[in-house]
């Protein structure tokens, strides 16, 4: 493992189980408590609207709170860029982002996509100076831009219904909502830096050093995430785990979806069995982190599959007649929440475990090195069967979200 984190590191001051996970749980409670005076009311009314018109299976209030916070961060980070784009092949860009999941010419698509995204979606000319959405149309333009990047497509999917809901409100009410969302977002950025900043020490320096290198690459939005986006995804992963845990633990089958960067050997040297669902570990390397999880799975009744980046997750959706199946997704902070939302869209009960730091050769490091997780966190999630393990503040909000 690299001693100096590339962008973030969860075990920077001790094991992640002893330091990071208790810290992010405590801060998430603080975020949800703070939201009670602002975003929670918006989230509850929206949830009631979805139930009344039967638009989706209702999620928890906490998940809708995160939707709003996420929108605020995305607007602060990308709103002005999105509004500066006047002409772009939005639909074509969104489609090629999907094609790459299934195509054997993925490397070629990635090169084309990188140049098209940088040319159309990120203008070198002056950005818009609009800091607060003037109308719902500005949010619609942001969502179209997010969809075109491919890397924020799950965000775009989630805000389609929010936009439909906001169309039922008058413009003045919408502007008041956006003031509340952005005010909370500004608080979150400052507070998260205080509580979670210790785990993201090199994000800013990585961006400053590599922004020209990633300019024409298809992974520019993945690798150039801001510090507040890292903190947002930490809280998002915690909220998703809490919301999905009960359904997950009741599943008859469980599968770990792990990234290839966790392997000790290279892709060419790995002896894992290639299957339509991914690579099944064969135990070829005793020191391999994938093999360690495979051995744990033999004891705790789960399987481990290695997936390439940007895999199609729809194949994990439940099929008629199959026993219920839950998934634990392992990823770095830049990708984790998007994958969790995609699994949620396919009604797959999922849990998240973060890589202790990023390190794959494709995205982050010239040579690459085997990444790892805190196995104790994985064990905790796989044995997460008691409601008593949920923090009291979350139990209170979970109860209120059913009102």
Residues in a beta bridge with 326: 254
Q: What would the mean pLDDT of 219-226 be, rounded to a whole number?
A: 94
Q: Are 377 and 16 in contact (CB under 8 A)?
A: yes
Sheet holding 253-259, edge to edge: 273-275, 278-280, 303-307, 253-259, 325-331, 350-354
Ranges 26-35, 84-93, 389-398, most confident: 26-35
Q: What is the DSSP string of 192-241?
A: HHHHHGGG-TTHHHHHHHHTTTTTT-TTHHHHT--HHHHHHHHHHHHHHH
Q: Residues in the chain, how many?
A: 403
Q: What is the DSSP letter of 387?
A: G
pLDDT at 123 exceeding the cut of 80? no
What pLDDT, on a 0 to 100 scale, did the predictor assign at position 108? 84
Per-residue pLDDT tens over the stretch 64-110:
999 999 999 999 999 999 999 988 899 999 888 877 766 567 778 88
Considering the chain, what is the average pLDDT of its residues?
Answer: 88
Q: Are 368 and 267 in contact (CB under 8 A)?
A: no
* Lowest mean pLDDT, pick from 133-142, 308-317, 329-338: 308-317
């Amino acid at each position: 493992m690299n001693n100096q984190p590339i962008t973030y590191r969860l075990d920077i001051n001790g094991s992640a189980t002893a330091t990071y996970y208790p810290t992010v749980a405590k801060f998430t409670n603080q975020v949800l408590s703070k939201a009670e005076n602002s975003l929670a009311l918006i989230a509850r009314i929206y949830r009631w609207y979805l139930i009344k018109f039967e638009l989706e299976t209702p999620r928890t209030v906490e998940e809708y709170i995160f939707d709003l916070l996420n929108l605020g961060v995305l607007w602060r980070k990308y709103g002005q860029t999105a509004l500066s784009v006047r002409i772009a092949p939005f639909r074509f860009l969104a489609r090629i982002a999907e094609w790459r999941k299934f195509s054997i010419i993925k490397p070629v698509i990635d090169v084309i996509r990188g140049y098209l995204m940088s040319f159309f979606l990120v203008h070198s000319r002056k950005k818009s100076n609009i800091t607060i959405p003037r109308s719902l149309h500005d949010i619609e333009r942001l969502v179209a831009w997010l969809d075109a990047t491919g890397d924020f497509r799950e965000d775009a999917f989630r805000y389609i219904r929010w936009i439909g809901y906001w169309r039922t409100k008058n413009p003045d009410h919408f502007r008041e909502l956006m003031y509340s969302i952005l005010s909370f977002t500004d608080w979150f950025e400052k507070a998260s830096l205080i509580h979670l900043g210790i785990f993201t020490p090199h994000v800013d320096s990585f961006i400053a050093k590599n922004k020209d290198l990633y300019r024409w690459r298809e992974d520019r939005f993945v690798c150039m995430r801001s510090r507040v986006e890292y903190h947002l995804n930490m809280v998002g992963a915690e909220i998703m785990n809490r919301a999905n845990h009960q359904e997950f633990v009741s599943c008859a089958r469980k599968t770990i979806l792990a990234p290839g960067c966790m392997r000790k050997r290279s892709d060419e040297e790995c002896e894992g069995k290639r299957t339509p669902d991914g690579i099944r570990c064969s135990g070829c390397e005793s020191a391999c982190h994938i093999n360690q999880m495979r051995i744990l799975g033999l004891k705790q009744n789960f399987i481990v599959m290695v997936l390439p980046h940007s895999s199609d997750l729809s194949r994990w959706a439940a099929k008629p007649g199959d026993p219920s199946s839950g998934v634990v997704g392992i990823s770095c902070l830049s990708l984790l929440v998007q994958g969790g939302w995609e699994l949620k869209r396919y009604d797959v009960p999922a849990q998240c475990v973060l890589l202790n730091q990023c390190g794959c050769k494709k995205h982050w490091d010239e040579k690459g090195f085997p990444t790892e997780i805190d196995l104790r966190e994985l064990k905790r999630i796989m044995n997460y069967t008691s409601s008593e393990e949920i923090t009291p503040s979350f139990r209170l909000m979970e109860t209120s979200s059913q009102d």
